[in-house]
Chain A
Amino acid sequence: MSKLFSRDSWAEIIEALSSNWFRTLLTAFGVLWGIFILVILLAAGNGLENGVKQGFAGMATNSMFMWSQTASKPYKGLPKGRRYNFKISDVDAIKETVPNLRYVSPRNQLGGFRGANNVVRGLKTGAYNVYGDYPEIIQQQPMNIVSGRFLNYSDIENKRKVAIIGESVRTGLYEPGEEAIGSYIKINGVNFLVIGTYTKKANGGGDAEEAQKEIFVPFTSFSQAFNMGENVGWMAVTAQDGSSITSLKEQVFDVIKSRHSIDPTDDRAVGHFDLYEEFSKINGLFIALNAVAYFVGILVLLSGIIGISNIMLIVVKERTREIGVRRALGATPWAIRSQILLESIFLTIISGMAGIVLASGLLALVNKIMEGMDTSEMMFLNPSVNIGVVFIALIILIVSGLLAGLIPAQNAIKIKPVDALRTE
C-alpha cells in the first residue's frame, strides 16, 4: 500500500507513460469516449425523466381517486344494477379501519365536461367545475395560490360560502385588472364570496386552461347549498410514505363494500383511478431506460478498456528487456506486477476523469442553453448526473483498470530475467 502513495512509484509511472505520448493519448481516448458516452446517456435519461415527471411535480403520487358506480352483483337480497352513494361517515370509517393512510378527502362536484353554464357574476356567465373539498386536497392536487388563501377548517366547520377560483375563471368572469377577492359569484343561484385565486399546471400533459376552470368551495357548505345531504361524490385517498396505495386500496374498497351491502367479490361497484400505479409504470420505464444507458455505456467503456489492456500487453512486450534488467537489479515479481497494474489503473482513471469532465462540460452547456427556454411543455429538463453516478463510474474505472492490467501484469512477471536479457 505504501507503494501506492510513494512519489517514486508515481514518478516511474509518469515516466513510463510519457515515454510514448502519442500512443498513451490514443489509448486513453478509448476510455475517455466510453465514460463520456456512459455519462451522457445517463444524463439524457435523467433529463427525460425530469421532463416527464415535472407533470407530477408536487402531486401526491401515492394517491388514488375513487367514486361510486353501480353494484354489478346481487347481494343480500338486493338486486344488481343498484345505485348507491358514498356517505360522509364512510370517510371516518376508512380512516379508522385502514392503517397507513395519510389523507382521505371526500369531494362533491357540480358541472363537468361540457356542462351547462352554472356560474353567474353580473352579466357574465360561465360553465365551470365546482368542487366541494376539504383543505387537504391542496396536498393531493397541488395548485398555486396567487392571491388570497385556500380553504381551511373554519370554512368547513362554519359552512362558509367562500370560493377559490382558477385563473381561467377569473378571466372569464372579471374585467382585466379587476380585483376578484371580496367579490361574489353566483353558483347555481347561491352566492359565494371569492377568497382566493390559483394557477395550476396541467397534470400529465392535460390542458392547463381546462385545469384552471375550476372553483373550490368548502365541502360542508357545498353539501348544504346544493342538497347533497350525506352523499359524497368521490374521494381522494393518499397513503403514507413507505406504503403504497396500490396495496392498501383493496382494504379501502372492502370497507366501502361492507358498509353499502355490496358483494365482496364485486369488482365493478367502486370505480377508481390509481395514480400510484400509473406513476410506477412511468418509473419502471425510466428504470429500464437507465439500465439500457448503463448497458450501452459500459459496453462502450469495455471496448476502451480492451484497448488499454491491448496496449499494456504491447508495452510489456516492448519492455521485456527492461523488465528483465529490473529483475536482475532486484525487483521482486510483485514490484513489477504492481507497476504494470498501477500504470494501467492510472491511465484508466486519468482518461476516465477527462471523459467525466468533458461530459459534465457538455451538460453544463446544454443546461445553460435550456435555461433561457420555457421547459414546462418540453419532455426534457435539467439533464444531469448526480455525484453518486460519478462515484459509480469511478469505481467502474478503477476495477476495469485493474482488470485491464491484470493479464499484461501476469505476462510481465512470467518473463524470466534470463530470457529477457537474452533477447537481442
Chain B
Amino acid sequence: MIEIKDLNKSYHMGSNSLHVLKGIDFSVKEGEMVSIMGSSGSGKSTFLNILGMLDEADSGSYTLDGKPIKNLNEKVAAKYRNQFLGFIFQSFNLINYKSALDNVAMPLYYQGVKRAERMEKALHYLEKVGLAQWATHLPNELSGGQKQRVAIARALASDPKVLLADEPTGALDTQTSYEVMELIQNINDEGKTILLVTHEDDIAHMTKRIVNLKDGLIIDDSNVTQVRASVAKNKHLQSKQTSNV
C-alpha cells in the first residue's frame, strides 16, 4: 500500500538548516495497523505530513497504492488526498459552524457527490461511530470523545485507502482514549490500513506494529501482539472502581 525509499527532509530557517528525516525506508501492506512512535523532535509528525501529502519530501520515493507521489500540483494532490487518505487530528479540527453531519459530508462535497447522496452516506458513517442522534449538533455541543468520533467518521466518509491519525487520543482522557482506540481497531478489523502517530505506549500497543523514530531515522520496526482496546477499557474501569472503594 505504502512504499517509501530513502526519504529525506530538511527545514531551512534563516541560515540554519534542520535535517529532520535522514533517509527513511518504510513500507506498509494493506490492512496493517502501524503506530509511529518517537519523542518530540524525532520527525514523526513531519513523516506523517509527508505521508499525508501535506508536505513534500526533498528526496526519496513515495508510492501510494501504486501511484508515485512526486511533484504533484496542488489540484492533483487535493484529489489524491481526497481519494486515498483520511485524516484524524489530535485537535479534531472540525469546522465549528457546521453540524456534525455537514462535517462528515465535507470530503464528499469536495468529491462532487450530490447533496442527497452525500447526506445519506455521511449519516451512515455517523451511525457507524454511534453518533447518528447527534447529527444536527454543532461541534461545540459535543464532548471531546464525540468530536473525535465525528472526525473519524469524516475521515472514513470518502472511503480512503489509508487512515492517518496524528495523536488521535492526545487530547482525550484515558477512558475516552480507549473508546476511540476501540473504534479505530474495529475499522482496522474491517480491512482499512491505519497509520497512527503517538507517544503513548499503551496506545501504541493497541496497534499491530510499532515503528520507532529517533533523530530522523527508524531505529526499531517490529510487530507486536495487539492489545484490544475493549479489554483495556474494562480493566481501566475496574481499577477506577476499586480505587474509588
| Chain A positions near chain B (C-beta within 8 angstroms) | 7-8, 15-16, 19, 321-322, 324-335, 413, 416-418, 421, 424
The reply to whether B93 and A330 form a contact with Cβ atoms under 8 Å apart is no
The reply to whether B95 and A333 form a contact with Cβ atoms under 8 Å apart is no
In the bound complex, CA of A330 to CA of B74 (Å)? 10
- Fill in one digit per residue for B103-134: 1 if any A CB lies within 8 Å of its CB, else 0: 00011011100010000000000000000000
- Fill in one digit per residue for B64-87: 1 if any A CB lies within 8 Å of its CB, else 0: 000000000011001101110001
Residue of A nearest to B87 (CB): A328
The reply to whether A332 and B74 form a contact with Cβ atoms under 8 Å apart is yes
Residue of B nearest to A19 (CB): B97
The reply to whether B107 and A329 form a contact with Cβ atoms under 8 Å apart is yes
The reply to whether B109 and A8 form a contact with Cβ atoms under 8 Å apart is yes
| B55 on interface, CB distance cutoff 8 Å | yes
In the bound complex, CA of A331 to CA of B95 (Å)? 14
In the bound complex, CA of A327 to CA of B82 (Å)? 9
- A333-B75 contact, Cβ under 8 Å, with A321-B93, A416-B54: yes
A6 to chain B, nearest CB (A): 9
In the bound complex, CA of A421 to CA of B52 (Å)? 12
- A331-B110 contact, Cβ under 8 Å, with A8-B115, A15-B98: yes
The reply to whether A328 and B54 form a contact with Cβ atoms under 8 Å apart is yes
Residue of A nearest to B151 (CB): A325
- A329-B55 contact, Cβ under 8 Å, with A418-B49, A424-B91: no
A336 to chain B, nearest CB (A): 9
A12 to chain B, nearest CB (A): 8
B82: contacting residue among A7, A322, A330, A413, CB under 8 A:
A330
The reply to whether B109 and A328 form a contact with Cβ atoms under 8 Å apart is no
User: Once A and B bind, how many residue pairs between them come within 8 Å at the CB atom?
Assistant: 65
The reply to whether B95 and A330 form a contact with Cβ atoms under 8 Å apart is no
| B89 on interface, CB distance cutoff 8 Å | yes
- A331-B91 contact, Cβ under 8 Å, with A15-B97, A416-B54, A418-B55: no
Give the number of chain B interface residues (Cβ < 8 Å): 26
The reply to whether A322 and B95 form a contact with Cβ atoms under 8 Å apart is yes
The reply to whether B91 and A329 form a contact with Cβ atoms under 8 Å apart is no
| B154 on interface, CB distance cutoff 8 Å | yes
The reply to whether B89 and A421 form a contact with Cβ atoms under 8 Å apart is yes
In the bound complex, CA of A143 to CA of B127 (Å)? 85
With a cutoff of 8 Å between Cβ atoms, the chain A residues found around residue B78 in the complex are 327, 330-333, 335
Residue of A nearest to B154 (CB): A329
With a cutoff of 8 Å between Cβ atoms, the chain B residues found around residue A413 in the complex are 74
The reply to whether B54 and A332 form a contact with Cβ atoms under 8 Å apart is no
26 contacts between A and B (CB under 8 A): A8-B109, A8-B115, A15-B97, A16-B97, A19-B97, A321-B93, A324-B93, A326-B106, A327-B78, A328-B81, A329-B82, A329-B87, A329-B107, A329-B110, A329-B158, A330-B78, A330-B79, A331-B110, A334-B75, A413-B74, A416-B54, A416-B55, A417-B54, A418-B49, A418-B54, A421-B89
In the bound complex, CA of A332 to CA of B97 (Å)? 21
12 new A-B contacts, CB < 8 A, other than A8-B109, A332-B75, A333-B78, are A8-B115, A15-B97, A15-B98, A16-B97, A19-B97, A321-B93, A326-B95, A328-B54, A328-B93, A329-B87, A330-B158, A331-B110
With a cutoff of 8 Å between Cβ atoms, the chain A residues found around residue B109 in the complex are 8
B93: contacting residue among A8, A15, A334, A421, CB under 8 A:
A421
Residue of B nearest to A2 (CB): B112
A335: contacting residue among B55, B110, B154, CB under 8 A:
B110
With a cutoff of 8 Å between Cβ atoms, the chain B residues found around residue A325 in the complex are 89, 93, 95
A327 to chain B, nearest CB (A): 7
With a cutoff of 8 Å between Cβ atoms, the chain A residues found around residue B93 in the complex are 321, 324-325, 328, 421
With a cutoff of 8 Å between Cβ atoms, the chain A residues found around residue B95 in the complex are 322, 325-326
With a cutoff of 8 Å between Cβ atoms, the chain B residues found around residue A327 in the complex are 54, 78, 81
- Fill in one digit per residue for B46-68: 1 if any A CB lies within 8 Å of its CB, else 0: 00010010110000000000000
In the bound complex, CA of A220 to CA of B91 (Å)? 102
In the bound complex, CA of A7 to CA of B78 (Å)? 22
With a cutoff of 8 Å between Cβ atoms, the chain B residues found around residue A322 in the complex are 95
B28 to chain A, nearest CB (A): 19
- A330-B75 contact, Cβ under 8 Å, with A417-B54, A424-B91: no
A224 to chain B, nearest CB (A): 90
B156 to chain A, nearest CB (A): 12
With a cutoff of 8 Å between Cβ atoms, the chain A residues found around residue B89 in the complex are 325, 421
In the bound complex, CA of A355 to CA of B91 (Å)? 42
A121 to chain B, nearest CB (A): 88
In the bound complex, CA of A301 to CA of B222 (Å)? 66
In the bound complex, CA of A16 to CA of B97 (Å)? 8
Residue of A nearest to B92 (CB): A325
In the A-B complex, the 5 residue pairs with the smallest Cβ-Cβ separation, listed nearest first, are A330-B82, A330-B110, A418-B54, A19-B97, A332-B78
Q: Which of A15, A330, A334, A416: most chain B CB closer than 10 A?
A: A330
B106: contacting residue among A7, A329, A417, A424, CB under 8 A:
A329
B54 to chain A, nearest CB (A): 4
Residue of A nearest to B95 (CB): A322
B107 to chain A, nearest CB (A): 5
The reply to whether B115 and A7 form a contact with Cβ atoms under 8 Å apart is yes
Residue of B nearest to A333 (CB): B74
In the bound complex, CA of A322 to CA of B95 (Å)? 6
In the bound complex, CA of A421 to CA of B95 (Å)? 13
Residue of A nearest to B158 (CB): A330
With a cutoff of 8 Å between Cβ atoms, the chain B residues found around residue A332 in the complex are 74-75, 78-79, 110
With a cutoff of 8 Å between Cβ atoms, the chain A residues found around residue B110 in the complex are 326, 329-332, 335
The reply to whether B74 and A328 form a contact with Cβ atoms under 8 Å apart is no
In the bound complex, CA of A98 to CA of B87 (Å)? 86
Residue of A nearest to B94 (CB): A325
